[in-house]
Amino acid sequence: MTATMKAAQKALNETALTMHQVQHAFDQHTVVKGVDLTVAPGEVVCLLGPSGCGKTTLLRIAAGLETLQEGSVSLQDEQIAAPGLRHVPPEKRNVGLAFQDSALFPHLSVMENVTFGLKHLSASARRERAEELLTQLGMANYASTYPHMLSGGQQQRVALARALAPEPRLMLLDEPFSSLDARLRDRIRDDTLHVLKKVGAATLLVTHDPEEAMFMADRIALMREGRIVQTGTPRELYCSPKDPFVVTFFGEVNEIEGVVEGGQVTTPVGWVPAEGIADGTRVQVMIRPEALRVIERDLPADTHSHSHIVMAKLLGRSSLLHLCAHADGGQEAHLHARVPGVFLPAEGQPIDIHLDLSQVFVFPRAAEEH
């Protein structure tokens, strides 16, 4: 391999953050259990999971706000934490931090807050850098304003500009949008994503909101009870979930029990392949509401032996249909289907139901027990 090829390979292999076999306990209670996690340069990784699963603890370990107990943490190729050996303090890690309620210095103007970490630059370079970021975050007109004069959303934009200003090796964001109301949150999220991508900041973002993670992330690491259950692109987690927890974390699903026969499971909405699962295995069939395609049939509305609509509700961008599905063998199930736009068939309307198998998942029943 030539020197150029070696350099290219090294750049490819380089990670902004590497956490290896990280373990952490509070008073005998282990809350992070052997976590491996990487963030590549310029990549946005979302640490996603239910409340209390250890996301914030992991982020605080990366930041140096918690002392590492087991494992190792490296930024680029520099090891910054190893138990009993090394603990580079947070201010020396060159990481940018922003939290749910990022406290700005109340006695400093917006400009002074953003330039605070830029003491190594000349006054004009500091100002230029701050102005650039404030413009990107829509806050250019507030440079001389003080934090108490800003809304929560504006303060969060300034906090983000402050964290990004020193061009940190890594941005660590903990639920940075969760204190904002829904409409504001969507806008700030969008602006934040564009700024992170424009400046090429490697980012680890903690959230409990699957939609936020899918919106922001190049890769998602889904956590449960201190462990990472699955890491991958949003599409990999949504379309190729490893277990039932991953499926349900991304939204409501219809669940039907069954037994594999001839490599398939029979359900009231048809046969579902059960690849790689032995015949006779009891399984859980998980059907996302958008996997059910509903076709109205021109039959008398009281044909209740046929699959039919129980109820239809408009949710805004989509319609939720409560269905009663009938199989030929007399099997019956109450299912929810989600259809884009306004589609509100009458109660009792006979229907045919087709399955989009790409949004149907089959797991052996034992896979539920963790």
Nearer to ligand ATP, 53 or 272 (CB): 53
Give CA–CA dist 224/176, Å, rounded.
21
Minimum CB distance to ligand ATP smaller for 55 or for 288: 55
From the CB of 229, what's the least distance to ligand ATP, in Å? Answer: 13
Say which residues have a Cβ less than 8 Å from residue 261's Cβ, sequence separation at least 6: 279, 280
Closest approach of ligand ATP to the CB of residue 116, in Å = 27
Q: Which residue, 55 or 185, is less far from ligand ATP as judged by CB?
A: 55
Taking CB under 6 A as the criterion, the residue among 35, 39, 54, 362 binding ligand ATP is 54
Q: Look up tokens 């940075």; give the residue.
A: 176
Stretch of 44-52, 116-124, 142-150, 319-327 contacting ligand ATP, by CB under 6 A:
44-52
DSSP state of 350: B
Q: Minimum distance from CB of 368 to ligand ATP (Å)?
A: 21
- Is residue 201 a contact residue for ligand ATP (CB under 6 A)? no
Q: Is the CB of 51 or the CB of 144 nearer to ligand ATP?
A: 51
- For position 67 contacting ligand ATP by CB under 6 A, the verdict is no
Of 29 and 107, nearer to ligand ATP (C-beta) is 29
Virtual torsion, Cα 359, 360, 362, 368, nearest 10 deg: 70
Interface residue with ligand ATP, options 43, 49, 289, 363 (CB under 6 A): 49
In the chain, DSSP finds a helix count (H) and a strand count (E) of 9, 21
* Contact between 25 and ligand ATP per CB under 6 A: no
CB of 21 to ligand ATP, least distance (A): 17
- 205 touches ligand ATP by CB under 6 A: no
SS3 per-residue string spanning 25-73: EECCEEEEEEEEEEECCCCEEEEECCCCCCHHHHHHHHHCCCCCCEEEE
Cα 50 from Cα 53, distance rounded (Å) = 6
DSSP code string of 272-289: EE-TT--TT-EEEEEE-G
Q: What angle separates helix 123-136 from helix 152-164, to the nearest 10 degrees?
A: 130
Per-residue interface string for the shown chain with ligand ATP, residues 133-172, x marking contact by CB under 6 A: ----------------------------------------
> Is residue 204 a contact residue for ligand ATP (CB under 6 A)?
no
Residue 35 Cβ vs ligand ATP, minimum distance, rounded to whole Å: 11
Distance separating alpha carbons of residues 251 and 358, to the nearest angstrom: 16
Query: Alpha-carbon dihedral of residues 230, 99, 180, 39, nearest 10 degrees?
Result: -30
- Using CB under 6 A, pick the residue from 56, 115, 230, 254 that binds ligand ATP: 56
- For 176-210, give one letter per residue: b (16+ CB within 10 A) or e: bbebbeeebbeebbebbbebbeeeebbbbbbbbbb
CB–CB of 214/238 below 8 Å?
yes
- Say how far residue 116 (Cα) sits from the centre of its chain: 31
55 is a site residue for ligand ATP (CB under 6 A): yes
**CB nearer to ligand ATP: pick between 216 and 269:** 216
Q: Does 51 bind ligand ATP (CB under 6 A)?
A: yes
Judged by CB under 6 A, how many residues of this single chain contact ligand ATP? 11
Positions touching ligand ATP (CB under 6 A) are 26, 31, 49, 51-57, 208
